[in-house]
Amino acid sequence: MSWQTNYEKWKQFEDLDVELKDQLEKLKNDSKQLEESFYKTLEFGTGGIRGEIGPGTNRMNIYSIRKATEGLARYIEAHGEEAKNRGVAIAYDSRFKSPEFAMEAAKTLGKHGIHTYVFESLRSTPELSFAVRYLHAYSGIVITASHNPPEYNGYKVYGEDGAQVSLAVAEEIIEKVNEVENELEVEVGGEEELKAAGILNIIGETVDNAYLKQLQTINVNPDVIKQVADDFKIVYTPLHGTGNIPVRKGLKALGFKHVQVVDEQELPDSSFPTVTSPNPEEHAAFEIAIQYGEKLDADMLLGTDPDTDRVGAAVRNSEGEYEVLTGNQVGALLLHYLITEKQKQGTLADNAVVLKTIVTSELGRDIATANRLETIDTLTGFKFIGEKIKEYEASGEHRFLFGYEESYGYLIGDFVRDKDAVQACMLLAEVGAYYKSKNMTLYEGLLAVFEQYGYYKEGLQSLTLKGKDGIEKINTILMAFRNNPPQEIAGKQVSVIEDYQTSKRILVGDNVEEEILLPKSNVLKYQLSDGSWFCLRPSGTEPKIKFYFGVKGETLEASNNKLAELKDAVMEKVSK
């Protein structure tokens, strides 16, 4: 179907939402924007949909929400009355249209007689995951675009275990979504009628309190916090998102007395006015927090993204300046502390397992291996870590200890089944308190970990390529690497090629081919003769292709140099 056909269908629809109708009218002379808005239908991917807000089949609006939810409703209906009665928990963040989209989802489900539990106001993604489990709901929805720019919103679907839906379930839902021929004609129930019938339920404080109670189990050693609580200072920024209340309550419950919130970024604001991007992965997001830190001489700065599933941290480095730690570094600190403290207390299970993604640092594996624990790699995306937790819970083969990914996502307590920045803030503050009790900064603690296991350094470079042309460019880059793989990079031989699309691992020197026992994914990874590696992966939620890099050196300087050489060599090949 051509974009013009989609456009005409919308233009001629008499009952089109008034706001969208006005926006469409303003676009009538902008053929480029109209084509971008209508050239395809926003695809329901492996976890949901995400896109720019606006009119059109390729945009986030009430009709794309209704279509996605109609598909989910048909999937739930196919699983019988019990599934309908258990219903769907729904949360939303601080983005434009998030409350409206949440209610549209509830009204669409309600039309099918499916019970819904909608939070009274904005809540974090991890609390939605918790709510699904706590309420014994059949499914969950969270309206968020995570750390994307303000013009985006999204819709993620969760399974009954509180994790994002598995690939198999996603396929079933996608099939149902694709059966919906006209998103403009999806019927919804009336909000007040559904509430009166007890089908649409508003939730809040009861779930909040249950979640907070579970958060307190994250604490490993209360004594280290008591020792330094009078002097330990934290600056926290929710970056205009959902983290303000749960993070502050969580830290207070553990006994932290000095938590200063960045006033300019405390309140929810859909336009995220103080940052270019509300992403704690980007150092610029910490600019104001650093000013607070300097003024207060804070031990630690913490920042969470709008839906509070990711957290970044900054601490004073060897020069006394605040340095934003990478996700891999924070993950290593959390893991090292969990293992060593639990060993001291005799609470570390023999079959404890660490879960990480294929693009996450190998430092975590080294720490786990040195302590006789197994590390399992998953594909990128926390849903795969959630799947593994469920698998081991059923089999008893392993007991979950810690799961993380390089993009600032961590999970400690499995009462949540997605990355949880509230948990991570609490444990990281405890780790900071632990090192302070030893008269060390958190940065010095990181250096001690490097000294013990090696100076690991990782990097990420992204190319944002929007629109139809961008997708074609991303595919061209991947095709070039796949069809003509490099034999050497930065003067080092390529020793292993992993193609997750074909599920093949090639040991180059031995000319041996192995099977990769993970779901298929359009990802390429290359390991070099010195242990360095790089990986190419198109984002599943943004118009980006990401390049991941990892090296290990004898010193910080050596690893920094190796990383710079590897990045330059790979990106030079990309630009050819």
Are 498 and 516 in contact, with CB atoms under 8 Å apart?
yes
d(CA 312, CA 332): 13
d(CA 424, CA 334): 8
- Cα separation values, 478 from 66, 98, 535, 544, 546, Å: 34, 34, 11, 12, 11
- Cα separation values, 405 from 377, 411, 415, Å: 10, 9, 18
Q: Locate 362 and state its tokens.
A: 């190998």
Residue from 98, 129, 139, 146 carrying the catalytic annotation: 146
- List of residues 6+ apart from 113 with CB closer than 8 A: 84, 199
* Residue given tokens 């330059």 in the structure block: 568
- Strand 399-405 versus strand 352-357 pairing type: parallel
d(CA 563, CA 311): 24
Active site residue 521: no
Long-range own/partner contacts, residues 320-326 (CB < 8 A, 24 or more apart): 322/286, 322/290, 322/293, 322/294, 323/443, 324/283, 324/286, 325/442, 325/446, 326/406, 326/458
Give me the torsion for CA of 559, 435, 400, 425, rounded to 10°: -90
Task: Say how many CA atoms lie within 13 Å of 280 toward its Cβ.
Answer: 36
Catalytic residues: 146
